[in-house]
């Protein structure tokens, strides 16, 4: 479940009837009292009030306002909160760049955390179901793909590597490079007295600015079909190596650095904010984990109650 292994579902999501019945008594006790947070690694997040989720938890499943399906918290097919979770009480996060999520057709909707991103950052996130994905070829100098591999680079090295992609896209041959059209077009203030070196530096900064990030929503074993798609070839690949997952559906045999999709999005943005934007992080994107952190606590408490931990 890496930047792609998104398998997040609510505790009461599409679980089988037998399993739900087995946990009924445990859940009933959890509904009556808040869970302890001392064992919650997500407790330091600066989140909006989750009281709306607490209320929805107590009232149980509700209808999706669009398809009328019975869901818990939100509808993972329509990307909207259920009737017991008013949209106005759900936080909205503004992202510094656009995000495309490519979802494997066999990925179970109810187990995916990708929908969290769409619910919480609706203006900046688009979810595509493979193979219906965009063409990225002409924009590869401003797009990166979050995916581990031998050619992946760290977040702090994005600007350097995108600059090389820009040169390739603008200068297919050495002769063409002498014109440097992108650098000339990118000048913001073409004043005669400006230092030429400053102009070039500023131009390159503009020309290599990242505008979109692509995430793959799939289990690790399903990613090969997507990552080898010709439409994704030639894109700069970024790998997140320093974070550990809190995901409750972590895939057996995979490193704990393989994150669920919403975790990967969140941690990438935190690193991007600090490493690329060079700004101090003050919780600007924490609410992307609004649903994730709530479910983490709910499921952890249920496991404890059931004697599994």
What are the DSSP calls for 162-224, one per residue?
HHHHHHHHH-SSHHHHTT-HHHHHH-S---TTS-HHHHHHHHHHHHT---EEEEEES-GGGHH
Give the integer Cα–Cα distance in Å for 125 and 115: 9
| 229 lies in the same domain as 281 | yes
Within a domain: residue 188?
Answer: no
Residues 222 and 267 in one domain: yes
What local confidence, expressed as pLDDT, does residue 65 receive? Answer: 96
- Domains in the chain: how many in total? 2
Same domain, 69 and 212: no
Q: If we measure between CA atoms, which residue out of 221, 248, 223, 250 comes closest to residue 237?
A: 223
CA–CA distance, 189 with 157 (Å, rounded to integer): 27
Per the domain annotation, does 16 fall within a domain? no
Q: Which of 97, 119, 122, 146 is nearest to 261 (CA)?
A: 146
Last residue of a domain, one of 36, 65, 82: 82
Residue pointed to by tokens 């990613």 = 223
Q: What is the reported pLDDT for 164?
A: 79
Domain of residue 73, residue span: 46-82
In-domain check, residue 151:
yes
**175 domain residue, yes or no:** no
Identify whether residues 261 and 280 lie together within a single domain.
yes
Q: Write out residues in the chain with pLDDT < 50, as ranges.
A: 1-38, 170-208
262 and 128 in a common domain: yes
> What is residue 255's predicted lDDT score, i.e. its pLDDT?
57
pTM (2 decimals)? 0.74
96 and 78 belong to one structural domain: no
State the pLDDT at residue 259: 84
Answer left, alpha or beta for residue 153, where phi above 0 means left and psi between -120 and 50 means alpha. beta
Look at residue 70 in the predicted model and tell me its pLDDT.
96
Is 246 found in the same domain as 281?
yes
Predicted local distance difference test score (pLDDT) of residue 188: 34
In a domain, 76, yes or no: yes
How confident is the model at residue 42, as a pLDDT?
82
Residue 40 lies in a domain: no
Domain boundary among 23, 57, 82: 82
96 and 68, same structural domain? no
For the stretch 177-231, pLDDT in tens is: 433 333 333 333 333 344 444 443 443 444 348 999 999 998 777 888 899 999 9
Query: Does 277 lie in the same domain as 214?
Result: yes
CA distances (Å), origin 211, targets 71, 162, 206, 217, 293 = 34, 11, 11, 20, 28
């Amino acid at each position: 479940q890496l930047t792609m292994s998104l398998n997040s579902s609510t505790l009461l999501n599409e679980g089988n009837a037998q399993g739900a019945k087995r946990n009924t008594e445990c859940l009933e006790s959890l509904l009556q009292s808040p869970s302890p947070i001392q064992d919650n690694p997500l407790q330091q997040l600066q989140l909006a009030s989750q009281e709306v989720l607490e209320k929805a938890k107590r009232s149980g499943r509700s209808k999706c306002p669009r398809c009328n399906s019975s869901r818990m918290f939100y509808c993972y097919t329509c990307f909207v909160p259920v009737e017991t979770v008013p949209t106005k009480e759900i936080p909205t996060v503004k992202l510094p760049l656009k995000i495309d999520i490519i979802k494997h057709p066999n990925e179970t909707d109810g187990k995916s955390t990708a929908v969290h991103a769409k619910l919480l950052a609706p203006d900046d996130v688009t979810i595509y179901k493979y193979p219906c994905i965009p063409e990225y070829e002409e924009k590869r100098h401003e797009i990166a793909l979050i995916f581990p591999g031998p050619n992946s680079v760290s977040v702090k090295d994005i600007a350097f590597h995108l600059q090389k992609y820009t040169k390739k896209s603008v200068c297919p041959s050495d002769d063409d490079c002498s014109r440097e059209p992108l650098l000339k077009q990118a000048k913001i203030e073409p004043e005669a007295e400006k230092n030429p070196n400053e102009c070039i530096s500023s131009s390159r900064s503009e020309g290599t600015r990242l505008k979109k990030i692509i995430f793959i929503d799939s289990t690790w074993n399903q990613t090969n079909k997507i990552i080898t798609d010709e439409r994704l070839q030639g894109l700069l690949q970024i790998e997140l190596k320093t974070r550990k997952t809190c995901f409750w559906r972590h895939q057996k045999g995979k490193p704990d650095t393989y994150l669920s999709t919403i975790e990967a999005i969140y941690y990438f943005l935190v690193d991007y904010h600090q490493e690329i934007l060079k700004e101090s992080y003050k919780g600007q994107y924490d609410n992307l984990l609004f649903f994730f952190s709530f479910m983490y606590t709910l499921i952890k408490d249920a496991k404890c109650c059931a004697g599994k931990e």
